[in-house]
Chain A
Amino acid sequence: MNQITSPYAPKDRFEVYRFFNGLSAEGQEGLSRSHTRIPLVKTFLLEHVSSRSGRTPKTPADILKPLGVESRCLDDSFLELRVWEPGEGDAPLKLKTVGYLEQYDERFFAFYTADKVDVAKKRVQHWLVRSPDLDSTWFSGQLLQSLWDRDVSKRGDNAFSKLVFRHESIFDMPEDATQETELEDEEATEEGSEEDRPERDRRKVRSEIRDRIGPIRKALTKLQGNYSPLNALYALRFPSSAARGSHDLYQMGQITNRADSFEDHRNMVRYLYRTYKAVLENTERSAWLSEEEAPAGKTAAYFKGVPLIIKFTEELSEATFNRWVNLAFQKRNQFRLWGDPIRLGPRKVHVYGADRHLSQPINLEMTSDRVVAIHPKGTCGNTFHRLVTNVQRYVCPKIEVWLGAKPFQELMSEAQRNSGDVA
């Protein structure tokens, strides 16, 4: 039976809040009995490429219209999103509400939906692939670790949290197998579901720690030191500080509500939005230093920005390096890069290419033990965070990252301090 996942013709956003509140309470009740009858409310935090690279910002409605999404304004910054779907049997197409979009500012939107996770993720992925104006927010392993260190680990030793780690060395395996990792449903993956499937010999780690915060904090650093994939943090559970339950944050900006209040969920999403925005702005400030006081005329003080350096703690084999170079620039690869690698040695290439998703130039040096990236002035900071996220997930689970001379972790700590730490 189809679940009702949206209120009928809501008059304002608060009607939607109240409806989602009901779902949240019912969902939380189901969670505490270890099963849910209805999908949980979830949010996808999206970035509009806005005025970066000289582009004119668009309204959410203008971005979504070419994607076949019809918008209905409930107020200035809250839209009901509807798509045409086939009716049952021979029934004609009908408009179905798939969720609600709140515009936080010119650059960030939150898409709230109560659709099942696989349906919702597929829909959002479809929008992201088809629209050069939209991108995910990229909560890299480094940023999630920083959120754990500075926030979750301090939410009380007895509160429960969950840390999910994912790393798949996709370039360690035959080339035809590297396209199979997209859109796997981390919420629905059950242990044992892969028993009947053939398995490839490659490093693939999906691990989770679900425990009280105190014991996790005591063990985590040692575990991460002993086993590098445990540095590739993929999801993090925030116990709610105001309601009953928690919120799960995933790497591509999905936040799932496991608390009994939608308002509490929205507060958490807003907190993560502020944090991400501060990190992104700090990234962009650090990447392109403002022009120094110059003696006269034009200077090259900001010339080509500072490099992003990602150092691998485990060097890639020559075969793995070559597969990575061959595949990273193919159309459907996770890295979404475009370019023609120039060979400078068996384990070194230069690429003067482009970020395929945002259509922005990018210069890369790829070697078996590091990536150096230089972005032209004005490139969206998301490009840095996507690259770091993908390298850690698919190439090397334990990495050290710097933007210029500044460690990435410091960049995040600064931003988190400035955005007001705990939700």
Chain B
Amino acid sequence: MLVRDPVFQLNLLLWMAKEQPADAYVVRPLFFEQGYSILYIENPFPFPPDTLRAIEESKKEISKKPEPELILGRMRDKTALYFEAKANSFSSESETSKQARGHLLAAGEAFAEVMAPLRSCLLCYVVPEDNRPLMGVCLHELAAELATAGLKPSLHSCHGLAVESPSLRYSWDDSFRKHVGIAESSSVIMSGITEDTDPSPLFLIYTDEDYPDDEQRDLLRRCLVNQVHALLVCDINRVPPNELYQCSAESLLIEITDDLFRFLGRARQKGMRRLVTENVLRRIAEFSKDKYSGAVVVQGQQLLIRFPDESTKTAFLDWLEDFKRTTFQAKKPSDADKGTLFEQIEEDES
């Protein structure tokens, strides 16, 4: 089931671009070995004006702001890889094809214009291995359709993920082999996979979405909440008494994601802000209301802390560092909840 999950797929791709030892890797760093490094993660691709005009004139269903999962670049030959991960293949008639047309054009002639000095880009769709042939057919049809309309689509490639117990295999096609200059056509990228253990490597991306494993539905949100919790513990430990500390859900998220949060789509940003506000900041505000009135306050989007003395700080940290007492939840805040702290904040800010 995990090989169909977009978060797991993207996390794998990120690990495959991360420097690791050849004989003790977490995930085989296939892209790193080939000289590629991470340029963008989930960042909308900005079409140049002439491409946008051509898209409009074509009257075709084409996404004007395609958002690839990942772009990797190799400066030595100015080549790039543009990744999109999908749970399943789809047909050229489906609604998803609008997005795929956008990706094909983004990775095409427009790419060199926007991403100079990179020159040549290959669009790579990552799907479960058994969906790879159909995905290839779809991309072929869409590229032909765009070319017929006088547009400039990219070369494309399909990659497959398959569990071959106890390993996870990643496969690719001739287009990828030629573009990257690699002789193999597939590789084991993870080994030692067992039924009783989730194979996920440490998460390098964060989201408020559900995890595909029913028993671990909150896993991704738990990772996010724990990261924010850890950052608060570190920050607040370093604040001397009488000095003001302030943060917001947004500033915390920017920091734990090394700035990546700024590049995420609005819906995901909002979901993550909501999770941190409702499940962490709201809990801190409620706990502190009586005990630390004036010292720990949530005002608008901001958490404001100014400890009057060392003992107040110590007492607050004793609580904050104790998981049994803080009990920050990882459940998704319900959309149905009205009058939540998050809703109030967003309303106040708008």
Contact = CB atoms under 8 A, between A and B. Distances in A.
B222 A402 contact: no
Given A132-B237, A307-B18, A372 B223 contact: no
Contacts of A309: 20-21, 24-26
A301 B230 contact: no
A372 B230 CA distance: 18
A344 B202 CA distance: 11
Contacts, number: 137
A363 B19 contact: no
B54 interface: no
B137 interface: no
Contacts of B321: 338
B43 to A, nearest CB: 8
B198 interface: yes
B204 A345 contact: no
Given A348-B198, A359-B234, A296 B116 contact: yes
Interface residues of A, number: 51
A42 interface: no
B21 A372 contact: no
Given A132-B237, A295-B117, A407 B256 contact: no
Interface in A367-423: 370, 372, 374, 376-377, 400, 402, 404-407
A4 B21 CA distance: 53
Contacts of A299: 38-40
B201 A365 contact: yes
Contact of A300 (B22, B41, B256): B41
B223 A347 contact: no
B194 A345 contact: yes
B237 A340 contact: no
A119 B313 CA distance: 31
A306 interface: yes
Contacts of A402: 20-21, 24
Interface in B199-220: 200-204, 219
Nearest to B222: A342
B59 interface: no
Interface string B257-269: 0111001000000
Interface residues of B, number: 51
Interface in A317-354: 338-340, 342, 344-348, 350-354
Contacts of B231: 361
B227 interface: yes
Interface in B1-31: 14, 18-22, 24-26, 29
A55 interface: yes
A342 B39 contact: no
Contact of A342 (B75, B115, B226): B226
Given A301-B38, A309-B26, A347-B197, A372 B202 contact: yes
A300 B257 CA distance: 10
Contacts of B75: 292-293
A346 B194 CA distance: 11
B233 interface: yes
Contacts of B52: none
B24 A354 contact: no
B115 A405 contact: no
B153 interface: no
Contact of B234 (A296, A342, A361): A361
A303 B227 contact: no
A376 B194 CA distance: 30
B26 A374 contact: no
A303 B115 CA distance: 19
A174 B233 CA distance: 30
B121 to A, nearest CB: 11
Given A307-B26, A400-B24, A344 B198 contact: yes
A163 to B, nearest CB: 27
Given A292-B75, A344-B197, A400-B24, A359 B41 contact: no
Contacts of A347: 197
B20 A344 contact: no
Interface in A277-311: 289, 292-296, 298-304, 306-307, 309, 311
Contacts of B238: 55, 132, 359
A360 interface: yes
A374 B198 contact: no
Nearest to A295: B115
Contacts of A406: 21
Contacts of B258: 300, 302-304, 376-377
B114 interface: yes
B198 A345 contact: yes
Nearest to B70: A300
Contact of A340 (B114, B226, B259, B260): B226
B26 A295 contact: no
A301 B211 CA distance: 27
Contact of B21 (A342, A346, A405): A405
B230 A353 contact: yes
A352 B26 CA distance: 17
Given A344-B197, A354-B230, A404-B19, 9 more contacts: A295-B73, A299-B39, A306-B20, A345-B194, A348-B197, A350-B202, A352-B230, A353-B226, A405-B19
Interface of B: 14, 18-22, 24-26, 29, 32, 37-41, 73, 75, 114-118, 194, 196-198, 200-204, 219, 222-223, 226-227, 230-231, 233-235, 237-238, 256, 258-260, 263, 321, 323
Give 5 closest A-B pairs by Cβ, nearest first.
Answer: A345-B197, A404-B19, A344-B198, A352-B226, A402-B21
